Structure 1
Amino acid sequence: MIKIFGKVRYHWQPELAWAVIYWSMAVAPVFIGLSLLYEKARIPNVIFILFLIFIVLFGAGFHRYFVLEEGDLRIASANPFRKSRIAIASIEKVEVSVLSITLYSSDYPSGLSFCMRKWPKKYFINDLARHTHFRGEVELVDHLKKQDYFEVYYSEKAKSVR
């Protein structure tokens, strides 16, 4: 969760398998460039191109976030073919697990899954549930398997208020 230009961004990653594949492909040009550098006495231009590819893929990998706007949830990702806005009023259910959240809406009845870290997920769900246009429900899916960290979060917040 980062606040830039007055808007809060909640960062996410794709499902774990896609994230591992993507980050493996993003780091591969660096290792190829380093192995080429080790073999040559001078620095060839191919190494600079490979490092440029790494920088572009690294930047695109961190360009995944949510922004809650007036009536829309804007989803920024590196994929230009994916719909980038969902009406908050059309979100019917949000399933929250330890590793990810899944958004179910009228546009996506099968759901969209996003992996998020613990704190950005808490603040995102909290802000989404408090949004004036949100009419859906938030469901904790695997809270019986592990500790329900939302209870810990709200108990810590209640202690700090007292």
Structure 2
Amino acid sequence: MIKLFGKIRYHWQPELSWAIIYWSLAITPIFIGMSLVYERARISNTIFILFFLFIFLFGIGLHRYFEIKEDHLLIASANPFVTRRLPIASIKKIEVTYLYIRICAPEFSKGKVFYMRKWPKKYFVNALALNPNFKGEIELIDHLIKQDYFEEYYSDKAKSVR
């Protein structure tokens, strides 16, 4: 979760295998550029091109986020020119697991999986559930397998309120 210019963004990643492939390809140019610097006594244009390619791929890789508006959910993917607007009222169910969330809506046939880290996922689900347009349900799928951090968070919050 990042607050940027007054907007709260909840970052996500694609499926783990795709994320590993993408980030491996994204950091490859910087390692090639560093090896070229090590091999040569001067810095060539190729090294600058590889460095800017790394910066570009790194920026695109961080461009995956959710943003909750009043009546819709903005889903930004790695393509900076395509953002999806999903009406919050159309979300039927959100399945929350230890690694990911699945959003079930008519726009997604079987539901769309978004991998998120623990705390952004918790804050995203909490903010979405508190939205007055949200009429769906939130289901914790594997909360008994691992530590239930939602219960732990709310118990800590209840202790601090008293």
Contact 2:76–2:83 (CA under 8 A) maintained in structure 1: no
Distance in 2 between residues matched to 1:81 and 1:103, nearest whole Å: 22
The 3 A distance-change label for structure 1 pair 82 and 144 is farther
Residue 96 of structure 2 aligns with which residue?
Answer: 96
* d(CA) in 1 for partners of 2:31, 2:147: 40
* Structure 1, 111-120 or 78-87: larger mean CA deviation: 78-87
2:59 matches 1:55: no
Deviation at 1:35, TM superposition (A): 1.6
Q: Which amino acid aligns with 1:138?
A: I
Render the CA deviation track for 1:59-83: whole Å, top value 9, x for unaligned. Answer: 1111111110011100112225755
Label 1:139 to 1:160 Cα distance change in 2 as closer, same or farther (>3 A).
same
Distance 1:93 1:47 in 2: 48
Aligned-residue CA RMSD (Å): 1.3
**Structure 1: which amino acid aligns with 2:109?**
P
Aligned to 1:78: 78
Instruction: Point out the more displaced range, 75-84 or 103-112.
Output: 75-84
Q: Could you list the runs of 5+ residues in structure 2 that have no partner in the other structure? A: none
**TM-score normalised by the chain length of structure 1:** 0.95
- Aligned partners of 1:129 and 1:85: how far apart in 2? 18
Matching residue of 2:19: 19
Alpha-carbon shift at residue 6 of structure 1 (Å): 2.0
Matched residue of 1:56: which SS?
helix
- Counterpart amino acid of 1:62? L
Equivalent position amino acid for 2:63 in 1? H
Measure the CA separation in 2 of the matches of 1:24 and 1:111.
27
Give, as a single letter, the amino acid of the residue that structure 2 aligns with 1:94.
I
**Cα deviation 1:68-113 (Å, max 9, x = unaligned):** 0011100112225755111111111101011111111011021111
The residue type equivalent to 2:58 in the other structure is F
- Structure 2 Cα separation of the partners of residues 85 and 73 of structure 1: 6
Q: 1:86 to 1:116 in 2, by over 3 A?
A: same
TM-score (norm 2): 0.95
| Unaligned stretches of 5+ residues in structure 1 | none
Moved over 3 A (4+): 80-83
